[in-house]
Amino acid sequence: MGKRATDEWAARHGAEVRRDVGAETLTTFRGGGRAERVYLPRSAEDAAELIGLCRAEEEEPYVLGGGSKTIVADGEVMRPVISTDLMRAVEVVVMSDEGVTVRAECGARLSDVARRAADCGCGGLEFLAGVPASVGGAVHMNAGAFGQQTADHVVEIEVLNPVSGEIERKSRAQTDFGYRRGAEGFVCAVTFFLPAMSGEERASRRERFLAWRRSRQPRLPSCGSVFKRGAAPAGALIEDAGLKGVRLGGAEISRVHAGFIVNAGGASAADFFALAELAARRVEELFGERLQKEFEILADDLPF
């Protein structure tokens, strides 16, 4: 096979490419296979260029942020990965008595945005404290908790138009946010507004949310909730189906919270998928509710 256009471009531009990277470094579940090549662009323009080159070679790249909602299929995945890990700039755009406007590149962590806002005496993202999401992943999934969601704080997103290859600005109103549904396409950067908040209030909100997570969520590696909430929380249905603590290979339905599948040691992606399938099947048989998966899969062929 000749040299790929993406590899030639990366070599010409001194862009970082990592080969044969394992799920243990790519994802928070830390189990599964390996990505044959991971490109790490340093700017939105470079990312757009790489995405265009992949598509010209009829490959749809997988955009990876914090890897906290991603399971890597077992074996070697040939699908190109574009990691946003080197695109992490966070800057204050405007500060006023009401709050602060912060622009963050997609690979920045939500915690980086919260920290920058806190430096300016502002807050609002405490509900996601402890969640290892990137800005791009959080806006793509509209990550949320405790009745709040990422979209609540979004002013504008910068997103790649897949047809023109141009980076466009879209206001929150122009983005179809919903429950765990956010921006489509490659999110390059996001502008947030975070309101003024005293240090005491920020600390107390943060501690309250973190304490809740510590007492009700597992500490073992996971990708967060495996299924979306339906009429009832998926974790409650899985627990009622008697599946808490059920183990397949190295994957386990968490004993702490049945909505999570944890890597209890040496879990493969197949272990994870089989357990997710088992939970979905049993819940449907017993309660007639078909659970919808919340996780994303990095694979050449989707397993289901």
Asked if 117 is part of the footprint of ligand FAD (rule: CB under 6 A), the reply reads: no
Q: Which one is catalytic: 68, 83, 225, 268?
A: 225
Binding-site size, ligand FAD (CB under 6 A):
30
Q: Which of 38, 51, 73, 84 binds ligand FAD (CB under 6 A)?
A: 84
Q: Which is nearer to ligand FAD, 223 or 238 (CB)?
A: 223
> Of the candidates 242, 193, 173, 224, which has an alpha carbon nearest to the alpha carbon of residue 67?
224
Asked if 297 is part of the footprint of ligand FAD (rule: CB under 6 A), the reply reads: no
Q: Which one is catalytic: 4, 18, 79, 180?
A: 180
Bridge partner list, 261: 253
The contacts of residue 96 (CB under 8 Å, 6+ apart) are none
Tally of CA atoms within 13 A in the half-sphere of 265 that contains its CB:
0
Report d(CA 189, CA 48) in Å as an integer.
Answer: 12
Asked if 15 is part of the footprint of ligand FAD (rule: CB under 6 A), the reply reads: no
Q: Which of 65, 99, 124, 259 binds ligand FAD (CB under 6 A)?
A: 65
Among positions 33-52, residues that touch ligand FAD (CB under 6 A) are: none
Is 294 an annotated catalytic residue?
yes
At closest approach, how far in Å is the CB of 26 from ligand FAD? 8
- The answer to whether 14 and 84 have CB atoms below 8 angstroms apart is no
Bridge partner list, 102: 92, 192
Residue 289 vs residues 238, 246, 273: alpha-carbon distances, Å? 11, 20, 18
The first and second tokens of residue 141, run together, are 């999934």
Phi, psi of 263 (to 5 degrees): -90, 100
Asked if 175 is part of the footprint of ligand FAD (rule: CB under 6 A), the reply reads: no
Q: Taking CB under 6 A as the rule, which mask of x and - marks residues 122-151 in contact with ligand FAD?
A: ---------xxxx-xxx-xx-xxx------
Is 180 an annotated catalytic residue?
yes
Three-class DSSP category at 89:
coil
Q: Taking CB under 6 A as the rule, which mask of x and - marks residues 240-279 in contact with ligand FAD?
A: ----------------------------------------
- The answer to whether 38 and 62 have CB atoms below 8 angstroms apart is no
Asked if 80 is part of the footprint of ligand FAD (rule: CB under 6 A), the reply reads: no
Report d(CA 290, CA 286) in Å as an integer.
Answer: 10
The first and second tokens of residue 272, run together, are 């994870």
- Which residues have a catalytic role annotated? 180, 225, 294
Binding stretches for ligand FAD (CB under 6 A): 28, 62-70, 84, 106, 131-134, 136-138, 140-141, 143-145, 186-187, 222-224, 296
